[in-house]
Amino acid sequence: MSEPTDRPIDDATRVVSAGRRKEWTGGVVNPPVWRASTILYDSVAELRGRLSDTHHKWFYGRRGTPTQWSLADALTELEPGAEGTFLYCSGVAALAAALLSVLSPGDELLLVDSAYDPTRSLATGLLKRMGITTRFYDPLIGAGIADLIGDKTRAILMESPGSLTFEVQDVPAIVAAAKARGVTTLLDNTWATPLLFPAIAHGVDLTVLACTKYVVGHSDVMLGSVTAAPGHFARLRDTSFQLGQVASPDDCWLAARGLRTMAMRLKQHEASALKIARWLKRQPQVARVLHPALPDCPGHDVFVRDFNGSSGLFSFVLNGGSDAARSALIDGLDLFGIGYSWGGFESLALPVDPQRYRSVTERDDAGPMVRLQIGLEDTDDLIADLAAGLARFAATPT
């Protein structure tokens, strides 16, 4: 027997063990797929007895089975200080349920201007129709958010780093201002995951992951999660039950498989993306690299202060050049796929035009922008592919 120790368990160890309860798995290592709608009871008395106690208990398929409970508990374990996690059929569904668990007609939401575009659509579409107003704020606002909090402000939704442009927000400063006014804070933490930014420990009330990205890690499942700080879980769960939200057990099983290697994958994504970002920074065709770990990126000082590391997604701004030249760069890449999403094992390149999705922040970029997801391929192979792409960019007449 080893001596008891206060040494904290490393993330790599935690992702391997999290959520694996013997009562749910039997002797097998991975929780199996429990598919269910009807769950049978031995008696009327037992059926009635379950009505009042339904958390992680056999009840009805919509309330989940050990396949979902195990993954939800694993995600809770990865967030120090969290109370519980609810799973959804996509990251956007998770964002919608989290917001609906907090907001009512007449309320105001403060939403970061660099939010994922579908998050903006949710705010300006469904939420607006329900009488919930949204004010966008500058991702670099920090403690200045206090000036925007009014009597109707009920929630602040952050995303750090921001989608496409990667501004790192001062989450602790925004959380402090929100707490002083009784406002609920939400964070889309998909880029960092709890391993690189433990959101609940930084004071966030509800933290959202598009598990589709790094948790799943293999580009073959849509899934989302919301993890709640103490005092916020019951309302999230009740709202999610009322909305009829249930994540498929098959998808949760695949996501749990992905989770076991997430810490190791993130380390490789980090190392490869940093190497490529630094290489891009030295190329004459590149004006700017927007990677939170590089000084060019707005909020880099906050990143250094608050994050445990970086992941594999970043953007770069080309030095002048046309849309056609950018397309020539991307279209000819051999190792980078052209497609949405990210977080899988394969590299992706995407033309991005963030100015289309900003309300209160101006952009003054030197040229068109490209977003890269760096996968698990060899970095020298990826760099050779990008070097040929930059040469095509430079050779395209403007």
The residues of the shown chain that bind ligand PLP, judged by CB under 6 A, are: 90-92, 116, 159, 163, 188, 190, 210, 212-213, 222, 224, 341
Minimum CB distance to ligand PLP, residue 212 (Å) = 3
Q: Which of 21, 35, 48, 62 is catalytic?
A: 62
Per the residue annotation, which of 116, 137, 214, 357 is the catalytic one? Answer: 116
Q: How far is the CB of 387 from ligand PLP (least distance, A)?
A: 27
Neighbours of 282 (CB within 10 A): 8
Kindly report whether the peptide bond that precedes residue 161 is cis, defined as omega within 30 degrees of 0. Answer: yes
Residues 90, 246: contact at Cβ < 8 Å?
Answer: no
Least distance in Å: CB of 139 to ligand PLP?
A: 13
**Of 374, 340, 126, nearest to 272 (Cα)?**
374
Active-site residue among 154, 213, 237, 326? 213
DSSP, collapsed to helix, strand or coil, labels residue 355 as helix
Which C-beta is closer to ligand PLP: that of 59 or that of 336?
Answer: 336
Q: Which residue sits closest to ligand PLP, CB atoms considered?
A: 91
**283 vs 310, beta carbon nearer ligand PLP:** 310
Between 224 and 298, whose beta carbon lies closer to ligand PLP?
224
- Of 247, 314, 268, which Cα lies nearest the Cα of 62? 247
- Between 116 and 314, CB nearer to ligand PLP: 116
Q: Select 108 or 188, whichever has its Cβ closest to ligand PLP.
A: 188
Q: Which is nearer to ligand PLP, 332 or 351 (CB)?
A: 351
Comparing CA positions, the residue from 373, 219, 191, 258 lying closest to residue 18 is: 258
Whole-number Å distance between alpha carbons of 164 and 171: 19
> Distance between the two ends of the chain, CA-based, in angstroms?
70
Measured from the CB of residue 208, what is the shortest distance to ligand PLP in angstroms? 7
Q: How far is the CB of 219 from ligand PLP (least distance, A)?
A: 11
- Catalytic status, residue 301: no
Least Å from the CB of residue 91 to ligand PLP: 2
213 is catalytic: yes
Q: Catalytic residue among 113, 188, 205, 251, which?
A: 188
Q: Kindly give the pairing relationship between strand 153-159 and strand 133-137.
A: unpaired
**What's the min distance (Å) between Cβ of 123 and ligand PLP?**
13
As given in the structure block, the two tokens for residue 264 are: 């190791």
Q: In what order do the strands lie in the sheet with 348-352?
A: 286-290, 313-318, 369-373, 348-352
Residues 22, 66: Cα–Cα separation, whole Å: 11
The distance of closest approach from Cβ of residue 4 to ligand PLP in the complex, given in angstroms and rounded to an integer, is 40
Which stretch of DSSP H or E encloses residue 187? strand 184-188
From residue 7, alpha-carbon distances to 3, 4, 203 in Å are 11, 9, 23
The token duo for 286 is: 């590149």
* Nearest Cα to Cα of residue 294 among 115, 166, 178: 166
In whole angstroms, what separates CA 173 from the centre of its chain? Answer: 20
Q: How far apart are CA 310 and CA 54, in angstroms?
A: 38
CA–CA gap between residue 21 and residue 264 (Å, rounded): 22
Number of helices and strands in the chain (H, E): 15, 11
Q: Which residues are catalytic?
A: 62, 116, 188, 213
